[in-house]
Structure 1
């Protein structure tokens, strides 16, 4: 089969690889009909190179048709249409019983000190072949895959795999209501869906912040107030809009890709090019992130407010303003999305007649899987107003 494989820093290729096979009785084989490039995939394209091997299959946002099921999969049958959550969870362990599916103890990567395994996401998270491929082996298919209606187009449903529940969880963690103001830092795909989710849930006021003009305008069109961070003191502007206090909650939907710190940029670029053993040690013990967005969120949120972090961070030596965090009495919630915790509620929303979250119009670029290498670079460089890429194997 054809698959998108990693071969080095900013080097991904379409390769011929062996077709996946049933390995365990709870596996399924899914023929992929749509897969997407996620902002998190850009971390693999560059920063997390030390945890990848040439030939690793990337991608964790995908959906398709069940082609084969293992003997212990009673919940699916051949021909079922499914969306597959990016994190792999068993649904039965101590963590899963508490809705903490991203920490599943059955697929947890204890040797690496990490949570549940993820599709297409490095040796830190199980080195499970990903979904930017024609076919995928889906472990724990007796629990994970979400059965979806046949009459809705793929792009109404595809984002249930990651970015929609990630945005929904970010708003849930922000703990805001109709009387509150929520700021969303970063208006990439997750930030856009966080804006739409917050407004759909009745949050009183939503302010989106970004540097990219087309992303700012898109959030405005969907009902958010907006700030352009390229020519604005974001912290002061947010305070000015909220009687000097700051928003009740701030979502950081940017993560380690934030701009604004030339020193950390140089350190990260140097680290990722070290020999793998040295690079892994540097990341695991001394790694830092670009923290401009996170520090902005901490400074902007009101005293006693909530900081919700959906952007991915990977540093182990990040300098944090602990005095400010403590003095302001902030609540902080973060982490990988527990997709199956929100999937039933979200499936009801996206299956309705009206596309209330504008999912069918989110993708800016649609292309065959063969074009994936070029689109990775386009997405990374934010050219051609690229917001979301959907690929069809």
Structure 2
């Protein structure tokens, strides 16, 4: 089969690779109909996340059709051949203590390389598709076919008659944005500030509005992202043209937002002109720290006392100059996680079917899988107003 394969820093190729096979009795094989390039994939593209190996297949936003099932996956009766499914980026067993609690991104069984994960994170996280050997080294879904471990749990069954464009993002960015808003504990009347208007940020903006936020403030610098946020009803701040702190002070009567959400993560490309981020970038490139902390610092400084900081952007390790004293004395609550995708997908699928949200709005480029290497560069460089790339094998 054909797949997008990592060969090193900024080197993704459209290669012929071995077809996946059933390896465990709970496995399924799906024929991929659509997949996407995620902002998190750029962390691997830039080789900022360790433990990628040449030959690893990329991708964790995938949907398709079941073509084969292991005997136990078949006997459990939750899947059958020809079912149409979206595959969450988190691989879940559905049976461990964390899965029973709905904490799917920290499933205790699905990471098949626990020792490596435990050395880095202290405890193992869930296995993830196409996302380094820290999270299991599982082949990803930017391919013609995908093996799905624990398939009777690791799937979202979706109806026919709804196009892939509306359903694909149940795999990651829609539940990720929803999770960011939910863990912020948004209440009617809240002012919510969201740093980053990429695909996850866009879903977070709309989630905050669906949850009753009175005012949503979106912070970025790219005109196409800010226009998309403004079209959803957000008040926008272009940090290249105005001070984020001064503008937030003005918009909140000096009180600050009730809830602040980080939809950027450790690269912080949206804040490259800030002095502390220039220093962070130098430290990161010199291996003196792993993550850039500008957005975290700015949220802590601007958040209203007794407010909530919600972190959904990906961080990989250590952040320097973290203002813990400010956070403690302001009484801020921090909540963060990789999204627990399956916790939210029943509700989100219903909202898609009811027309409350159509996630396809975020797609700016739709291309065949063979165009993947070129589209990685386009997405990285934000060329052609690129916000989200959808890829289709065989197109």
- Same fold by TM-score, threshold 0.5 exceeded? yes
Distance 1:266 1:9 in 2: 18
Aligned residues of 2:103 and 2:340 also touching (Cα < 8 A) = yes
Tell me how far 1:362 sits from its aligned partner. 1.3
| Pairs within 5 Å for 1:47-58 | 47-48=47-48, 50-58=50-58
Alignment of 1:80-95 (within 5 A): 80-95=83-98
Q: Aligned Cα RMSD in Å? A: 1.2
Q: Do the aligned partners of 1:31 and 1:65 also contact (CA within 8 Å) in 2?
A: yes
Does residue 336 of structure 2 align to residue 330 of structure 1? no
Native 8 Å contact 2:292 2:319 kept in 1: no
Partner of 1:101: 104
Q: From 295, 298, 301, give the equivalent of 2:300.
A: 298
1:69 match: 69
1:313 aligns with 2:323: no
Distance in 2, matches of 1:309 and 1:104, equals 19
CA 1:317 to 1:225, structure 2 compared with 1: closer, same or farther past 3 Å?
closer
Deviations 1:339-368 (A, max 9, x none): 01111111111122x2x3232221001100
The structural deviation recorded for 1:205 is: 1.2
Moved more, 167-176 or 314-323: 314-323
| Change beyond 3 A, Cα 1:365–1:235 | same
Aligned equivalents of 1:190 and 1:342: distance in 2? 15
- Which of 240, 263, 268 is equivalent to 2:279? 263
Whether the aligned pair in 2 keeps the contact of 1:129 and 1:136 (CA below 8 Å) is yes
> How far did 1:267 drift?
3.4
Q: TM-score, normalised by structure 2?
A: 0.93
Match of residue 2 from structure 1: 2
Which of structure 1's runs of 4+ aligned residues deviate more than 6 A? none
Aligned equivalent of 1:345 = 347
Is the 8 Å Cα contact of residues 160 and 343 (structure 1) preserved in structure 2? yes
Say whether the 8 Å CA contact 1:60–1:121 is kept in structure 2.
Answer: yes
Contact 1:251–1:309 under 8 Å retained in 2: yes
State the TM-score, normalizing by the size of structure 1: 0.93
Match of 2:161 among 148, 151, 154: 151
- Aligned equivalent of 2:224, options 214, 223, 240: 214
Distance 1:133 1:375, change over 3 A: same
| Aligned twin of 1:236 | 246
| Conserved? CA contact 2:186–2:212, under 8 Å | no
User: Does the 8 A contact of 1:193 with 1:357 survive in 2?
Assistant: no
Deviates more, 1:260-269 or 1:9-18: 260-269
Q: Is the 8 A contact 1:67 1:79 kept in 2?
A: yes
